[in-house]
Structures are given as C-alpha cells and as structure tokens.
Amino acid sequence: MASSSSNNIEDMMDEKFDQAFEKLLSLHEDHQNAAKMNKPLFMRIVDRLSGEIPYFQQRRDATGRFGLSPLQKATAAIRMMAYGCPADAIDEYLRLGESTALLCLENFVEGIINLFGDEYLRRPTPEDLQRLLDIGELRGFPGMIGSIDCTLNDINILDRSPVFDDILQGRAPKVKYIVNGHQYDLAYYLTDGIYPKRATFVQSIPLPQGLKASLFATHQEAVRKDVERAFGVLQARFAIVKNTALFLDKIKIGKIMRAYIILHNMIVEDERDGYTQFDISVFAQPDSNRSSEVDFTYSTNMPSNLGNMMSIRNRVRDKQTHQKLKADLIENIWKKFGTNQDFN
C-alpha cells in the first residue's frame, strides 16, 4: 500500500515536471517574447552540463533515492533566466527550495560560460570582420563594424573600456576602406550623440540642415537601431536581465549577463537559417569591388613602449579624422541613396 502511494506521488511529480518543461519550451500566452529554445538545443545543453559539470550529475542520497536530475536543475535555472521569476517560485513546478534554485542558477551560468563561452562569446575572426564590413558597405557605411549603445555611466568609464584594447595593443587585424575617394585604416562604430568625437565613432546629426545631412541622419539612425533592437530582444528573451540587480553581487550579475548572451547566440545559430536578413551570395564579390578589406594577417607591430601606445591612442581620439570621415560618409550616403529619394 505504501509502495503504491509512493509511486502515485512520483507519477504526479513527473507529470508536474513535464508540464513545466513543455511550458518552458513554448511561449506563454501572456509573455509572448519570453525565451523560446528548440528542444534539441536545450537537451544538447543539458547533456553537456550533466557530462562535464559535477553539480549537474544525478546522484543518490543517503537513503539510496536519486536526487534532482540534470533536466530539473537546468530547467529551474533557465526558467528563472527566461521569466525573471524569484527563486522560491520554482517550487510550484519543480519542487525545489529557494536555496537549491539559486544554486542551480549559479552553477548553470558558470557551466554555460565554461562549456560554450569560447565558441559563442569570442572575438570576431577576420572572416567575421570581413562579413561585418561587407554588411556595413551594403548599407552605405564602409568601414563600419557595428553600433554601440551604452548608458551615461558607461560613457564615464569609456577610457577603461576593453573595446579598443586590441587596437591600442597592436593585436587588431588591419582594416582598410575607402569612403568618398579617401582611404582610412580604423574601423568605426555608429553611436548616439552622447559619445565623444573620435576617429572610431560616427554619430548622427541632431539638427540636420540640408538634404544631404538629413539623408545621412536618417540612414545612420536606421542602421544604429539594430543595437537597440538587440537589447530589446535580449530583455524580452531573458527577463532576468531586468531584475539582475536584485542579486546584489556584481560578479554574479556579470556571469548572468555573459551566460544569457551565450544562450542568445546559441539560439540565433540554431534558428539562423529561418530568418537571416542577408543573402550570403551578395558578399561573394571579387575583392576588387570591395572598398572595405581586412588584412587577415594580424599586426605584429606590438607597441614596444608607452610612447607607441599613446600614439595609437591619439589616433583613435583624433577629432580631425572624425570630422573628415563623417563628411565623407555624408557624401557617400548621398551618392548611394540620394538619387532614390523623393524630396517633393
């Protein structure tokens, strides 16, 4: 009789777990932008965690009964990340206490970083960089490799940011591109108006005067919206991003942010073929037709002293280069898209 009762309880718990798992892998009706991950990808993550991370290996307790399964632990962690729910809410579906749920989350994010970080959170390869340059050129911005969008606090510590470390230390690949007949050798990012005027930043024009300036501002702001949309997607996919400060631990917050970026990149790779915006054949153009090129041999001219590093730093901060590049980009946008505009 006791055995039958125990089996019924276990069956009921299994049913609850299956319901929670299926709910996790699909969109909630009241939260349609929550994390959506294909089941094979989720199971691949669980298999790696259970095979290589001791915490996710199922063990028997002192009574001989199995403890929490790798699937339960991973589901608890990713549910907290996806929906931003508190740790004590996990008990409703997965029968985990608050402290256990937090341990699942901490070990999950560390496992994701250790197992998948090198592949999904790496620096761009020369091939990646060439693709970014090709996309930028297609959109009217030769030499552009992306957009940056930070808060005011991030601006205050920009000089300590690692964004340009490779350039300053001579490790970055050499980039050459031509804009409006002039050659440049520092790639740049599109930014908003709070960023300083540097050779590596191109802002919009807040109050454009004339057709050329207006057209440039329109295209710059349209392209730069990509980074804002990316942040929106990340916040919608992983609601924990909105509440990470509740952990009050900068190290844990940093690991959570890194883990959800890795997971997002894994999801994008898994679903990429279904929604890629660009025809790869467009970039299979002869090198002679490109105005933006990457030298695939990394620079070996490492700064030998502080003076050399300061020289590179001054190039990055050069306002004259910034103004000249922006003027050339205004002309390039006008030549590329101006004839297609209706200004009447």
What whole-number distance in Å separates Cα of residue 69 and Cα of residue 56?
7
Strands 188-190 and 144-147: parallel
Q: Provide the whole-model pTM.
A: 0.68
Q: What angle do CA 274, 277, 283 make, to 5 degrees?
A: 115
Strands 201-202 and 173-179: unpaired
Sign of CA dihedral 314, 319, 325, 326: positive
Write out the two tokens for 195.
Answer: 């960023």
List pLDDT tens digits, range 161-213.
Answer: 666 676 766 666 778 899 999 999 888 999 888 888 999 899 999 999 999 99
User: Which residues of the chain have a pLDDT value below 70?
Assistant: 1-36, 85-95, 150-164, 166, 168-172, 228-248, 273-290, 292-307, 340-344
333, with CB counted inside 10 A (0-12, 13-18, 19+), is buried
What whole-number distance in Å separates Cα of residue 276 and Cα of residue 267?
13
What whole-number distance in Å separates Cα of residue 49 and Cα of residue 41?
12
What whole-number distance in Å separates Cα of residue 126 and Cα of residue 296?
6
List pLDDT tens digits, range 246-286.
Answer: 555 778 888 888 898 899 889 888 877 555 555 555 445 54
Distance, C-alpha 11 to centroid of its chain: 40
* DSSP class per residue in 164-192: GHHHHTT-SEEEEEEETTEEE-S-EEE--
Torsion, Cα of 230, 121, 124, 276 (10° steps)? -40
Beta strands in 68-157 (DSSP E): 144-147
